[in-house]
Amino acid sequence: MATQKKTQAAAPQAPAPVATPKSKLKFKANEFVVYPAHGVGKIVDIEEQEIAGAKLELYVIDFLKEKMRLRVPTAKAESVGMRKLADKNLVEQAMKVLKGRAKIKRTMWSRRAQEYEAKINSGDIISVAEVVRDLFRSDRQPEQSYSERQLFEAALDRMAREIAAVKKVPDAEAVAELEGILDKTARKNEKAAEDAAAEKAA
């Protein structure tokens, strides 16, 4: 009898099936998001794929301008820096950055170019606005080098596309608004510099 009891106690129990919880998604289909290296994209689908016997949930993101489609695992979206569009307050802060005075470091251009590229690909609209501000040249200022112009246009495009998506306006309208702010700021700064020079000479 005791032996029988012992055998019963030792009999392994079948493990209870573990229910895999459905991950709570931070982003939804048809939502615009910002992916650091590519800027504004639209989630067109959320799909499941089986890879090595494991199910993987993916955001399918279209970047229309680049004619590119990206699949990002939903579990890794935040860790790679994917985020929702900036809210209106953050857009206002970015606009204020453009109204400030350009900050140009006296380091070699190659070093500065790397820093500007890192800011453009950071996914942070404030950092992108700083690049736009620092690399803007008005018609009355000296010509830019080809690489400076390229970086400026990349930053301007990245910023304008996010603002266009937030305000639900065409990209061209957002670009025109940003260029208007930049030109007005440049004129104001030039006038201040002229006034200061005239005062010094007097």
What are the tens digits of pLDDT across the range 100-148?
Answer: 988 888 889 999 999 999 999 999 999 999 999 999 988 777 778 899 9
CATH no. of 32-84 = 2.40.10.170
Q: For 145, list phi and psi in degrees, rounded to 5.
A: -75, 165
HEC string of 100-127 equals: CCCCCCCCCHHHHHHHHHHHHCCCCHHH
Which CATH superfamily is 88-201 part of?
Answer: CarD-like, C-terminal domain (1.20.58.1290)
Tens digits of per-residue pLDDT, 36-95? 999 999 999 999 998 888 899 999 999 988 889 999 999 999 999 999 999 999 999 999
- Are 42 and 64 contacting, i.e. CB atoms less than 8 angstroms apart? yes
Highest mean pLDDT among 6-10, 151-155, 192-196: 151-155
Alpha carbon distance 22, 75 (integer Å): 11
- Count other C-beta atoms under 10 Å from residue 196's C-beta: 10
How many helices (H) and strands (E) the chain has is answered by 6, 5
Comparing 17 with 97, the larger pLDDT belongs to: 97
Gap between the Cα atoms of 199 and 191, Å rounded: 12
Q: How does 41-68 read in b/e, with b if 16+ C-beta sit within 10 Å?
A: bebeeeeeeeeeeeeeebbbbebeeeee
Q: Do 171 and 32 form a contact (C-beta atoms < 8 A)?
A: no
155-162 average pLDDT score:
97
Q: Look at residue 107 in the predicted model and tell me its pLDDT.
A: 87
pLDDT band at 19 (very low <50, low <70, confident <90, very high): very low
Segments making up each domain of the chain, as ranges: 32-84, 88-201
Whether the pLDDT of residue 4 is over 70: the answer is no
Indicate the range of 92-101, 108-117, 164-173, 185-194 predicted with least confidence.
185-194
Q: What is the pLDDT of residue 202?
A: 63
**Looking at residue 163, what DSSP letter applies?**
H
